[in-house]
Structure formats: structure tokens, C-alpha cells
Structure 1
Amino acid sequence: MYAASSREALAQARTALDSAPKADTGDQLLAVARLVGGNRELLGALTEAAVPPAQRGDVARAVLKGKVSSDAADVVAAAAGGQWSTSSDLASGIHDLGVEALLRSASAAGDADTVEDELFRLGRTVANTPELEQALSDRARSPQDRAGLIGKLIAGKVNPVTERLAVDAIERSEEKPADALARLADTAAGIGGRRVAHVRSATELSDAQRSKLAKDLEADIGSPVTLHVDIDPELLGGVVVRIGNEQIDGSVAGKFAAVRRGLR
């Protein structure tokens, strides 16, 4: 999470992104984030508070001239002109803008739902395959090696934006691979203006049940909802729904637990 000043700087840079929601821009921003994050001297030059914002933006443009598109350079220059809480937040912010650009490009192409669903399912696959999760988490392997592994598994099988984001997440994130992919799926839903309902169900939900649950939740929170459903037989029956910090426990196991608490 960003502190207040970094959130403001990110919002400022996002205005430059509004005119550049292209996949190429996203790819270039992810590359710039790696460059900036790995170069302390450059990072310092782009975040030096004593230097006027416009000059920091000029430094960014000079460094990136001929290496990225003008759209990507504009976004980085806008980011460099912000007041970040920490210098590392700048690299993280550029990265997040790259992810957003890729997701926006998918939305513009009509592929937003596909990318979100693929990221969620890929995260579940990793979580439910211990050998794969261990290989993707193995710090004895280089980040590039781990990223190459997930890339080989999904190449040509998912949307290109899904592939780019998944490979980047495995290479860059310090989270568990399944968690990083799940967070990306949530971000994808947010780009589309939807809230994510994390649902645990004792059994697979039918299309009709999914539709009714989504409509009921949308009516309750006043916002479009996308369901991310996991099967958990230990619930015995019913569902548990989490949206943000709120949880609704309608499972049989949850009702038994409530009865037991009432008997104490």
C-alpha cells in the first residue's frame, strides 16, 4: 500500500496514462520499472526532492529517448514529477501503471472478462498444484527462470495480456505465486469497475446459482460484482462470501460453529 503522497503521485501519473492505454505502452512501462528499480543512481535522480518536478521529468525523457514510445515516456515523466513517499515507490508506481495499461488494452479489445477469468483460474491451478507452486516459489532459481517456467506452461493457451501479466508477476512479485496471480485478477476486475466477491462453496455452483448470487450481492452493495469461486468441501454446504473486509458466512460449517458458540 502507498502512503498518501505516493497515492497522489500515482494519480497524477495516471492522467498521462489515460491517453495511452496500449499493450505496447504497458510492456514498456514494465521494462522501465525494472530499469529504474535496479538503478539506484537513476532512481535517485528521478525522485530528488530538491530538483523541480519539471526537471525530473526532463531527466526521465532524456534517459528514455529512443528506447520507448513517446506515450510511455510521457507517463514516466509525469511519474517522475510527483512527490513519492519513498524512492522505491516510484518504481512500484511505474510498474502498477504498466499493469493498468495492459489491462486497459484488454478492455479496449473486449477481452477484459477473459483476462480476469484466466488470471483467476491460473492462480487456482498454481495453488492446487504443489509441485508447480514450489517450482515457481523456489528462490534458488533466478526470477527469469521462474518466469520462463510459467511462460512455457501458458504460451499460446491464454490471452497475450494474461501471459504478459502472469510472467511479470512470477518474475517480480515477492508474494506466493498463487496470491500474486489472484491479486492481478482482482486488479483486472477493478479496472472494469467491478468488485470481487471471493466465494468458498461446498460444491460447484451452477450457472443459475452463480447468476443469482451475483445479482443478490450487486443489489446489496450497489456495485457490479464478479465472482471468484473456490470449492471447499469442509464447509459441508452453503457458501462463504468475502468482499473486501466484509464476510458473509452462510455455510453449514459456519452455522454449526455459531451454535457451538451459543452453547458455551
Structure 2
Amino acid sequence: MGTERDKAYAMAIAAVGRAEGELDKVQDELFSLSRTLGGSEELLSTLTDAQVPVARRQQIVEDLLAGKVSKSTIATVSMVVAAGRARDLTGIADELVALGAAEGGRDVAVVRSAIDLTDDQKARLATALQQAVGRPVDIRVVIDPSVLGGLVAQVGDTVIDGSVRRRLDLLKQAI
């Protein structure tokens, strides 16, 4: 999870999201966006470069996200970038998702998959994970080509590895 500062940002973002009636949407979009942004060192460097004026960094965010995410999410990312915290976006998103899940009495399941999952697949996975961990879960999918196939789910400290890579590793050990 993130730092105390990440938690503070998450709580503020949650309060605004609730007031605007878009908390769930902002949680989903910010989680996905933070994973994408975290994978682009060049973009992160630009968004954290003190030599680039804050207004220009915010404009980059707006240009990249316009029409792809809600205005609330754009405003949130823009605020985080203006505060010089673009590198903290993943921690902030994780805290925001955890906060929302905790308020609903659920756990967060971060699921790594080589491809995006359909809504039906997410629902079936949520049911299976709920049975495995004994609590309702919110599914958050991270696209990870290194998984090759199958899924790797993490709920708190519990990791369930059903990936092809894991099965191949087990096969190698058996041979």
C-alpha cells in the first residue's frame, strides 16, 4: 500500500468523488491510468520535471486523457501532477481503491492477466475469490504480458497463481 501522504490524497479524492457522484468511476479510471502511467518512464519524467512549467504538465495530462476518462479523473490527475506527485499516482490509486473497498466491507483483488477480462469473467472470478478468501472482493485487473496466460490474483497477502508461467515452472521442477 501507499504512504500516509498517499492515504491523505486518496481521502480527499474520495470526498470529491462522492460529492460529484463519480467515486466508482474515478476509482476505476485512476487505477487503470496509474498502471499505464507507471509503465511509461518517459511520460513520468516529463510530468515530474521541475523544468517543465506546471501549466504545461497539466496541459499534457488534459491532452492525453480528454475523451478517454471522466472530467473528474482528469481533474484529479492534473491536481496530483501540479502538486509534483505524479510518481505517487499508483500509491494514491491503490489507497483510493482500498478505501472504497473497505467502506463496502470488501477486499481488493489485484488480478494480473495477459489480456483484459470481460465483465462476465470478472464476475465469475469475484465469486471464486470470495469463496477462497471468505469475503466479497473488488476486482482490479492489471494487464501484464509476462503472465503469458491464466491469472495471478492477490488479495491482501494471499497470492493465487494460476498462470501458465507457474504451471510451466511446476512442470520443470517435476522433470
The answer to whether the superposition gives a TM-score over 0.5 is: yes
Query: Aligned Cα RMSD in Å?
Result: 3.1
Q: Name the counterpart of 2:114.
A: 202
In the alignment, residue 94 of structure 2 is paired with which amino acid? Answer: D
Instruction: Name the counterpart of 2:167.
Output: 255
Question: Alpha-carbon deviation of 1:241?
Answer: 1.1
Q: 1:206 to 1:155 in 2, by over 3 A?
A: closer
Alignment-derived partner of residue 127 in structure 2? 215
Secondary structure of 2:141's aligned partner: strand
1:185/1:222 CA distance change after superposition, 3 Å? farther
Q: What's the CA shift for 1:104? A: 2.7
Q: Is residue 2:29 matched to residue 1:118?
A: yes
| 1:190 matched residue in structure 2 | 98
Pair 1:106 & 2:17 matched: yes
1:116-157 deviation per Cα after TM superposition (whole angstroms, max 9, x unaligned): 111123223324555433422435435554344324433576
**What is the match of residue 162 of structure 1?**
73
Cα distance in 1 for partners of 2:55, 2:70 equals 21
Paired residues, number: 169
Which residue of 83, 86, 102 maps to 1:172?
Answer: 83
The runs of 4+ residues in structure 1 deviating greater than 6 Å are none
Deviations 1:38-83 (A, max 9, x none): xxxxxxxxxxxxxxxxxxxxxxxxxxxxxxxxxxxxxxxxxxxxxx
Written as runs of structure 1 = structure 2, the 5 A alignment for 1:27-176 is 92=5, 96=8, 99-129=10-40, 131-142=42-53, 145-154=56-65, 158-172=69-83, 176=87
Cα deviations across residues 94-120 of structure 1 (Å, max 9, x unaligned)?
A: x81x64133134235432211111112
Structure whose CA Rg is larger: 1
Q: What amino acid is aligned across from residue 82 of structure 2 in structure 1?
A: E
* Counterpart residue type for residue 168 of structure 2: F
Query: Do the aligned partners of residues 208 and 142 (structure 1) sit closer, same or farther apart at CA in structure 2, a change above 3 Å counting?
Result: same
Q: Contact 1:115 / 1:188 at 8 angstroms: preserved in 2?
A: no
CA distance in 2, matches of 1:143, 1:195: 36
- Taking the aligned partners of 1:206 and 1:158, their CA distance within structure 2 comes to 19
One-letter amino acid of the counterpart of residue 183, structure 1: G
**C-alpha displacement at 1:242, in angstroms?**
1.8
Distance 1:183 1:168 in 2: 15
Q: In 1, are the aligned partners of 2:10 and 2:96 still within 8 Å (CA)?
A: no
Aligned to 2:155: 243
Identical aligned residues as a percent: 34
> TM-score, length-normalised on structure 2?
0.74
Q: Which amino acid aligns with 2:89?
A: L
* Unpaired segments ≥5 residues, structure 2: none
Higher share in strand: 2
Maintained 8 Å contact 2:31/2:97: no
SS of the equivalent of 1:248 reads strand
> For residues 226 and 166 of structure 1, what CA distance do their matches in structure 2 show?
22
